[in-house]
Amino acid sequence: MAIESPSLNVHITKNSDSEAKTSSFLSVTPPISQALGTTTSLSYVYSTPPSFTLTHDADLAHHLAIASSGPPYQFPVAGGSFITYLDFGPNPEQEEGFWHRTQTVDYIVVLEGELELCLDGGEKRVVRKGDVVVQRAAMHKWKNLSTTEGARYVAVLLGADGAVEGGIEFGGENLK
């Protein structure tokens, strides 16, 4: 059974169309989380299309369309962006994550727990609360090292040249 994501509060600002240009908060309902296996879930927060403009709230319209469509959520296209939380439940069986790569630069900040980040070249790193990972289209997988505690990170993904909607490459059988 996939884990339930802890509650997520999202605050999005907007500007008025008036000459005074006052700012306010939108009323936001967090979108439904997407299960990524038995112990991991992804919570979509916001995304922008490529070469977006703030004029007429074009970025906001894009976000609302993505959020209302529900999972599965897509990685950004070239020039687009995406912010998400990933939650990893306790991993009593020490299940491995899945190998994958996207054509994105990912800025990842670990908020809770301790995760193992494995690369297809054989290297592994343990990342902990407060650690930052800059991941550049690497073939990788994540694993929660705790059998009793969850882990969480937030990631901002920027679509690089060649990135396409839904563009994810999964690793082969020969990767360990």
Mean pLDDT of the chain: 88
pLDDT: is 5 or 68 the higher one? 68
- Structural tokens at position 174: 């020969």
Provide the pLDDT for residue 92. Answer: 95
Cα–Cα distance measured from residue 58 to residue 49, given in angstroms and rounded to the nearest whole number: 9
- By DSSP bridging, strand 34-35 and strand 40-48 are antiparallel
Mean pLDDT check: name the lowest of 17-21, 64-68, 108-112.
17-21
Cβ neighbours, 10 Å, residue 106? 20
The answer, yes or no, to whether residue 4 has pLDDT greater than 70, is no
Q: How confident is the model at residue 1 (pLDDT cuts 50, 70, 90)?
A: very low
For the entire predicted model, the pTM comes to 0.88
Element (H, E) at 64: helix 58-69
For residue 175, the model assigns a pLDDT of: 56
Q: Tell me: pLDDT of 102 over 50.
A: yes
**Domains of the chain by start residue, with CATH:** 30-170 (2.60.120.10)
Residue reference for tokens 């939108």: 26
